Amino acid sequence: MGHDIGRAVPAVLATAEPGERLEVFTRRVDSTVLTARPDGTSTCQRSDQWQIEVRSVRGGRFGAATTTVASADGVLRARDAARALWRLAAQPCVGHGELAELDHPSTPSNHDLDAVASAVRSEVDDVVVTVAQTNGSVSISDSDGRVGGYHRGEAQLNLRAAAPSPGGALGTALARTPANLDIPAAIGELRAARARLGGARGSVGAAEWVVLAPLASAQLLSHLANGFCLPGDGDGNRLVPGTSVAATTVSIVDDGTPSGGPAGIPFDDEGVPTRRTEVVSRGELRAQLGGLPLAVATGNARRAGWRHGLTVTPSNMYLVPDGPDRVDLGALCGDGVYVEQISGVRRRVVDLTTTRLQLTLRGAAVHRGETVGPVQGLLGLTGVSLLSAVRAVRGATRFYRVNGVFGGSECVLDGIDVAFA
């Protein structure tokens, strides 16, 4: 299939009309997922996906169309669609034609997945090990004769008990470059989760405090994220910068740059260079994520395909820690809950002040600093109410893929009305 693309792209670029520059971005993503079980069996799944985007640029404006049909006919149809979109609703050409990606280093991921699984097995032998490795390559060429490209890879390691407790003991390590896949950290997280979730089922009623694990805080942020985006239809969040939306301990950043996290890219689907955006600073809304149609271009515009319109989505959004050390549960007064996971129905439009989120919290009851068993609770609050209850954000930021890429640290909450059983 790669040979077909290699022949099709030059042929399409040669069809540029007078005054038109054609650009072709060819993206290829190779994914490998290895699952190793305690009984010695394992499965390995591989996938190879192509996406070709053709842009018709002229008069300082462009039309873009995407296809997954990696053939000459597919590229030609994408070219025709790009020209049609240019005539119907051309967007300002910001950043296109500069080939800015070429300034960023290639970082392929070359892990031996079997070796990673064996390293885990040497430390813990009763878990299901899942190692996922993804490598993406981008080739760029245009009808002016410029060419280039880059490679980027990432790997993710998940450890789960073969017979998990009700809370689901889990250890995770997410790495964007090969050197950062921290196997000991994932094993340590698994063991800590097992310790917190061990023992008989507890019941604490109304918790006096709640501590969110890094994964849980990232999941919470994924439910709130749309409230920080300016939707194209104008619905949703009615907040304006300068509004207080959280406790003064809360700062939230969205960093879409290549060095900002696993979802970093040089520019978005409008051609706008990505950037680091301070969304919330010490509880105050500083900026919202947007795109060119709203005259607020933050590099967060994404297009699912040429048949779809642009949407605004976070890139690498995370809570900024206010301290390097993890939370000392023994130093907290009264009974509480250490929440390992948060789940619920995600809403397309979230108004942080009025949308009441219905979330399920799972974790371990804590009495006098000791875990007394798994618990589960239901929570129904607005985004502003939740963020206003955060008293501390501690420990290093860890990124997770939860309906996007979000970073979390341990968060201490109090003053929220939630009953656990």
Phi-psi region of 293 (alpha: psi -120 to 50; beta: other; left: phi over 0): alpha
Instruction: Render pLDDT for 360-404 as a digit per residue (tens, 0 to 9).
Output: 998 888 877 777 778 888 888 889 999 999 999 999 898 988 888
Whether 99 has a pLDDT exceeding 70, the answer reads no
Q: Which amino acid is at 150?
A: Y
**pTM exceeding the 0.75 threshold for the entire prediction:** no
pLDDT at 199: 45
> Residue 94: enclosing H or E segment and its boundaries?
none
What percentage of residues in the chain have a pLDDT greater than 70? 80
- The values of phi and psi at residue 381, to 5°, are -145, 160
pLDDT at 294: 59
Mean pLDDT along residues 282-295: 82
CA atoms of 137 and 39, how far apart (whole Å): 36
What is the 8-class DSSP label of residue 40?
A: S
Whether 105 has a pLDDT exceeding 70, the answer reads no
**CATH code for the structural domain at 2-194:** 3.30.2290.10
**DSSP E strand stretches across 123-198:** 127-142, 147-161, 170-175
Q: Are 278 and 318 in contact (CB under 8 A)?
A: no
Q: Give domain limits for the chain.
A: 2-194, 199-420
What's the token pair of residue 51? 């996406």
Instruction: Render pLDDT for 10-68 as a digit per residue (tens, 0 to 9).
Output: 888 989 999 898 988 888 888 888 888 888 888 998 888 888 888 888 877 778 888 88
Tell me the pLDDT band of 247, cut-offs 50, 70 and 90.
very high
Tell me the pLDDT band of 161, cut-offs 50, 70 and 90.
low
